Structure 1
Amino acid sequence: METIRFAVEDGIATLTLDAPRKNALSLAMREEIGEVIRQLRADDSVRALVLAGAGTDFCSGGDISSMQVEIDAAQGRRRLQHVHGWLEDLIQFEVPVIAAVDGAAYGAGFSLALTADIILATPRARFGLPFLRMGLIPDCGVFYTLPRIIGLQRAKALMFSMKELNAQAAQDLGIVMEIVPPDTLAERAQTFARAFTEASPVAVALTKQALNASLNQDLHTMLAMEADGQGIAFSTEYRMEAANRFMAKQPLRYRWPD
């Protein structure tokens, strides 16, 4: 890997963007992220994924240098469809994804952060969608992810205005879950990831599947999904062990970090 760093340790996968121009999402980086996502989906030992950026920035967005050529509509469409192949897999990934955002999360970098289930940020984090300035539309899944977090009107305002959000403004909108100092960001992200290594992987996957589907389905469908999922969860060894621990007044394995 030339543009990212990737490791799996004790059930926690960490994918770190590490490239010039503030970890710009180059064509090479897109290829390498796709390869990692394919590996992760085949690795049953992974219980959580941390997304991070090397240095003092998460991701500054698309690599503008790769856009200094004529691109027709068909080429532009294929260019993005290639990303969509792994982006959908990442959004639907059955383990929790934690984004650790420091510095710039701009354009496609903001979109990439929004694929996470939990976004942690430092006080110097900055979020923005300046696509219209380049004559482009927001991409990398942001039309799906952002309105589900902040609502349709606010999503329109962010995209049309290209307004930059600092960490506090992003937290006020519900984008960022927690603001932490830069020197503790990596460890805080790992703390959340470690918590999920003690959770039922089946229950976590079923919960994430239901939440991802919930805004696109009717009540009847979601109740059926709930019943089916709970039936599966009841059948797991983890659930039986948790019930026995509870009755024996022993600590349960999974707990949310303080």
Structure 2
Amino acid sequence: MEYIRFAVEDGIATLTLDFPARRNALSIPMRGEIAEVIRRVRADDNVRALILTGAGTEFCSGGDISSMQTEMTAPQGRRRLQQAHGWLEDLIQLDVPVIAAVDGAAYGAGFSLALTADIILATPRARFGLPFLRMGLIPDCGVFYTLPRIVGVQRAKALMFSMKELSAEEAQDLGIVMEIVPQESLAERAQALARAFTEASPVAVGLTKQALNASLNQDLHTMLAMEADGQGITFSTEYRMEAANRFMAKQPLRYRWPD
């Protein structure tokens, strides 16, 4: 692959945006490579977590402006984005946890990409922004779905209309960033969180993600039904029986959240 790096080691998949000439911008070729990686992750039952990060000093500067200099009809612009929607939806709906490790800029579609993650880690120099209106465009790459669910509709409007740049601390205050870690510790912390999930029940983790993703779109009755169905499935797993036996024998349980 030319614009990203991808590796799987000990159940942890790492997707690194690597396009330094454009500050890791989401070029059209890069989007195709990301789509291929997401297909691989979905098909690999041995993957227990996915880390998203950027090479160098930036996470992702957004869309590749150099590819937007030609005239484009409305149908062409629509198709351009629809090509990304397939893998974006698959990424959000992955059964395995997704951890975004953000250093430097996460602008535009880069901010949107970070928001597809279940957990966002950031360094003190991370910056987040949605400057789409400056280019006469609307925010994209799933941000109309992800951002209001974290910060609420009013704050999402304010961030999109104002195009305000958020520091790591401001993003944490809004609930966007879960942890701020030193730059030199970012990769290590992301790996530690991902490694914890290699000892968790993949069935329970996947069902938990599915329920949470559906929760804001469903009524109480539907969510209680999902809860009952999901718990029925997890009760039937070998992992659950092993955990119960370990607990009764006063042995350490396998899954623990790293401090």
TM-score (structure 2 length as normaliser): 0.99
Q: Which residue of 2 aligns with 1:142?
A: 143
SS of residue paired to 2:106: strand
Deviations, residues 76-96 of structure 1 (Å, cap 9, x unaligned): 000000000100000000000
User: 1-side partners of 2:47 and 2:40: how far apart?
Assistant: 10
Amino acid at match of 2:174: L
Q: Does 1:5 align with 2:5?
A: yes
Amino acid at match of 2:163: M
Q: Which residue of 2 aligns with 1:168?
A: 169
Q: Which residue of 1 aligns with 2:103?
A: 102
SS of residue paired to 2:23: helix
SS of residue paired to 1:49: strand
SS of residue paired to 1:94: coil
Deviations, residues 15-63 of structure 1 (Å, cap 9, x unaligned): 0000022101101100000010011111000000000000011000000
Alignment length (residue pairs): 258
Amino acid at match of 1:104: A
User: 1-side partners of 2:140 and 2:86: how far apart?
Assistant: 13
CA shift, 1:188, in A, is 0.4
Q: Which residue of 1 aligns with 2:244?
A: 243
Amino acid at match of 2:29: A
SS of residue paired to 2:232: helix
SS of residue paired to 2:145: helix
SS of residue paired to 2:14: strand
User: 2-side partners of 1:242 and 1:207: how far apart?
Assistant: 18
Question: Where does the alignment leave 5 or more consecutive residues of structure 1 unmatched?
Answer: none
Shift >2 Å, 4+ stretches: none
Matches within 5 A, 1:207-218: 207-218=208-219
Q: Which residue of 2 aligns with 1:88?
A: 89
CA shift, 1:2, in A, is 0.3
Q: Which residue of 2 aligns with 1:195?
A: 196
CA shift, 1:164, in A, is 0.2
Matches within 5 A, 1:40-51: 40-51=41-52
Matches within 5 A, 1:63-78: 63-78=64-79
Amino acid at match of 2:9: E
Q: Which residue of 2 aligns with 1:151?
A: 152
User: 2-side partners of 1:197 and 1:240: how far apart?
Assistant: 18
Matches within 5 A, 1:173-188: 173-188=174-189
Amino acid at match of 1:243: A
Deviations, residues 166-225 of structure 1 (Å, cap 9, x unaligned): 000000000000000001100100000000000000000000000000000000000000
User: 2-side partners of 1:94 and 1:145: how far apart?
Assistant: 17
Deviations, residues 110-151 of structure 1 (Å, cap 9, x unaligned): 000000000000000000000000000000000000000000
Q: Which residue of 2 aligns with 1:15?
A: 15
Amino acid at match of 1:15: L
SS of residue paired to 2:217: coil
User: 1-side partners of 2:118 and 2:203: how far apart?
Assistant: 17
User: 2-side partners of 1:129 and 1:214: how far apart?
Assistant: 26
TM-score (structure 1 length as normaliser): 1.00
SS of residue paired to 1:23: coil
User: 1-side partners of 2:133 and 2:258: how far apart?
Assistant: 39
